[in-house]
Amino acid sequence: MIQKPRGTRDFLPDEMEQRRAVEKRMRDVARCWGYREVCTPEFEELELFTARSGEGIIEEMYVFEDKGGRMMALRPEITAAVQRMYLNEARVTPKPLRWCYFADCFRYERPQKGRYRQFWQFGVELIGADTPVADAEVIMLARDLLQSSGVSFSLHIGHLSFMKALLSDMDVKEQRILMRYLDKKDHEGLKSHLGRAGRAELGSSLLALLECRTLDEVIGITGKIPEYERIEETLGLLDDMDIRYSLDPGIARGLDYYTGMVFEAFADNLGAENQILGGGAYRLAHLFGGDEVPSSGFAIGFDRVMVSLGDSEGETERVVGIVYTPDTRTYALRAARAFREAGLRTETDIMGRSIGAQIAHASKSAQFVAIIGRRERESGTVTLKNLDTGDQRELDLSTAVREVVTSGPRG
């Protein structure tokens, strides 16, 4: 028997309905903020991703040569693709651009809980704005999207100027090494590395910075930084809007392209692999041959959100089973159409079962059955039975449809 590829999943109807329900709530929130959905190809030229992340990322990607000899890759993330699309299609479009996306990505890595080789991201990109209000908007939208999903989480906000102030006399290669230690929370490795380089004092300052939880504490270690007023204004906007967050100077995102505010969110119940969102302010377009354009955005790890939610997302839609005798089939199909036109999931028997067998089968998924015999066909009615309560009444078709619509979904 052929099995699904390692690191991928099959989603049965119940799980797909849960995923679509959460996805819809996120889309609705993004729309209310003015963010419109975009879509990019599932594969791009390999250079698009190596230009951003270096050749080392190739080991983590699905890479192939197409029939024209071009090196292509299944997308490992979508921000680079959105920036490429901006340069190709929307460079002269009035700014800011508020875009969002929901799509699958691919990484060739060891599968584990919440980490798969095919995974989904819900993301946002705000292109062409470089103000404290823009920074605050993206963070507030991230908060609203996660809240809409129902996941329990904590939001952490940092700024790359904190780290850069302490690492300003180091070259980019050395900065990357230190940020890798910080990203992995390998503090002993960081101290050892700097000790060997004769920079033990810097290691102490970096570790002290990680413990700071107020802007004043940060400045006490880094000294006054040029970005101070902007950071203070952004955080002030978040405070004014009652956004709950923790100041986290230890957020270590890519120094190569992130330029300022950075933020992450962590689910409360996922253990070590608990990061469900990451983002910040960045500049990428120049890497792909365009003019430098300020941008900010984030991506939500949709699969981890669903793992965190578990079985809590249990509300299902109203379902109607149409139960009928052989001689009333045409009227039954018309009745089913009336329920469907009202937006109700409606199923009819296609197996030639008896009335009793039809009811028994419908009860496995339906909240209501509409029973149709010769009397109902001749009078234009249905006998509507609520399978949860056992209540049963003969109603004209339009009234029966209205009764189901207003009943509310099964919880």
pLDDT confidence of residue 258? 87
* Amino acid identity, position 227: E
At 5 the three-state DSSP class reads: coil
* Lowest pLDDT segment from 34-38, 164-168, 180-184, 328-332: 180-184
Which pLDDT score, from 0 to 100, does residue 354 have?
A: 96
How does residue 185 score in pLDDT terms, banded at 50, 70 and 90?
A: confident
pLDDT level of residue 220 (50, 70, 90 thresholds): very high
pLDDT for the residue 279: 96
Break the chain into its structural domains and give their ranges.
Answer: 13-309, 319-405
Other C-beta atoms lying within 10 Å of the C-beta of residue 346: 23
Quote the tokens at residue 47.
């250079």
Q: What is the pLDDT of residues 82-101, one digit of tens each?
A: 999 999 999 999 999 999 99
Q: Which of 215, 400, 377, 212 lies closest to 318, judged by CA?
A: 400
Maximum distance among all alpha carbons in the chain?
Answer: 94
13-309: CATH homologous superfamily? Answer: Bira Bifunctional Protein; Domain 2 (3.30.930.10)
Residue 143, pLDDT above cutoff 90: yes
pLDDT of amino acid 128: 97
> DSSP label at 115?
B
The closest alpha carbon to 259, from 224, 212, 293, belongs to 293
What are the residues whose beta carbons fall under 8 Å from the beta carbon of 29, sequence distance 6 or more?
Answer: 141, 144, 145, 148
Q: State the pLDDT confidence band at 410, using cuts at 50, 70 and 90.
A: low
Q: Residue 199 pLDDT > 60, yes or no?
A: yes
Examine the pLDDT at 149 and tell me if it is beyond 70.
Answer: yes
d(CA 167, CA 160): 11
- Decide if pLDDT at 222 tops 50: yes
pLDDT of residue 292: 87
Check residue 51 and give its pLDDT: 87
Per-residue model confidence as pLDDT tens digits over 17-32: 999 999 999 999 999 9
Percent of the chain with pLDDT over 90: 78
Nearest Cα neighbor of 26 from 42, 16, 37 is 37
What's the chain's average pLDDT? 93
Report pLDDT for 313: 47
- Identify whether the C-beta of residue 194 lies closer than 8 Å to the C-beta of residue 251: no
The yes or no reply on domain 319-405 and CATH 3.40.50.800 is: yes
